[in-house]
Structure 1
Amino acid sequence: MNELIPTQETNEGQIIVSGRDLHDFLEVKTEYRKWIGRMIEYGFTENADFIRVTQKCPTPGGVQEIADHHIRLDMAKEISMLQRNERGKMARQYFIEIERRWNSPEMVMKRAMDYLNAQVQKLTTQNLVLEQQVKEFQPKASYYDLILQNKSVISVSQIAKDYGMGAPTLNRKLKDLGVQYKQGGVWLLYAKYQDKGYTSTKTHAIDSEKSKLHTYWTQKGRLFIYDLLKSQGILPVIEREQIS
């Protein structure tokens, strides 16, 4: 079938026609703005039967905003019939044939297949994104798994070993980052971290009269250190090996 008047398919699966294209085909002598206004007065509803759209177009007087209307087939058929001339009859029959073909079993099946293919493509894309995210977060999960396997408190020396450094280096790093300070030979957390459950202290007897306080990190504190150091670009050895 020859395309008398261009049509488009919307994302909602409807066929629409440009009001200006219909106006041109019907060879209406009245200015489009006045003509479409009269047509709408026959009882058509905006956003149900048609949508008003605008676009900027160059004119001899400069760039101007030109109004158009995206018209549904039912409205286009009625407008065509209202013209009461041969062009209107041709347009109406043309739209009826388009509608008949659009609603044929073959076209309904094609639209259903197109929809399913689009959904499959969407899911495939989502899965690829998810796989990439899993790969990105896998190193963190591996280190978390390692931490969660250990329920006991841990010394700073053991944590430092995860990063390939010594305890003095890690202690200084935590001091520089405003996490802890040293008092009486013991590392203590600043006030903002003291009630977070990051550390635990143990007293070790030196002899019958002397003892020494030692600070140990909980697994929650170990994860805190992990996140803090990662924000500084410092990763544990296990993650560096997986990235390289």
Structure 2
Amino acid sequence: MNNLVIMKDQQAVTSSLQVAETFNKNHRDVLRAVDDLKEGVAQNWADLFYEDTYTHPQNKQQYRIIYMNRDGFTLLAMGFTGKKAMKFKLKYIEAFNKMESHIKTGGFKVPSTMAEALRLAADQQEQLEVMKPKAIFADSVATSHTTILVGDLAKIIKGNGVDTGTKRLFKWMRDNGYLIKRKGADYNSPTQKSMELGLFKIKESSHVNSDGVTVVTKTPKVTGKGQNYFVNKFLLKNERLEA
């Protein structure tokens, strides 16, 4: 029951393999259950799940695996019933909460004594003196190869005092020329301007719909440089409004 939830691409996620092991199910049945969810959440599937492969420790063959965030797991686990299933769901909730808390605090230990709290406050004040103008990410994040979803960026921005959400952030990006506003196959895809600035990368995934047609979906993911760019842009905007 260890490592129910892990951090991957700056998200708290679990895997279809871990779910199968925890709930004592065949992995292929869990994969099939996730596939069945595609039709119901086709547009948002890539925000909840993403596919990868893993190497089997015995035969060294590559096999399919699906990672899912908290929302994806919640949808999947709705179909798991029984007292044992409820017990495992509660353990997963606890594990997601711990990992998400770890991500938010950057892995820092929460002070348990007054001395630790004072030391932490002093360290933070020292960092604030150095950070001019106000910046959330270090230079290493701006050059990071790790990308995140727009929804996760919205959470980061909101966590820093700017009232926004996923839908509002998508709209703001469209209205300000960062994502394509025109309805069609490229809707919500990064504009040429955004790509030239290096703010986004595009993740492509495909699935076969009920008509047997292969559908390709494109998901914009914010680069490390983009995270730094947008967070600081919103912070400066917020400071001007408060001034």
User: Would the TM-score normalized by the shorter structure come out above 0.5?
Assistant: no
For the pair shown, the structure with the greater C-alpha radius of gyration is 1
TM-score, length-normalised on structure 1? 0.37
Q: Relative contact order (C-alpha < 8 Å, sep 6+): which is higher?
A: 2
TM-score normalised to the size of structure 2? 0.37
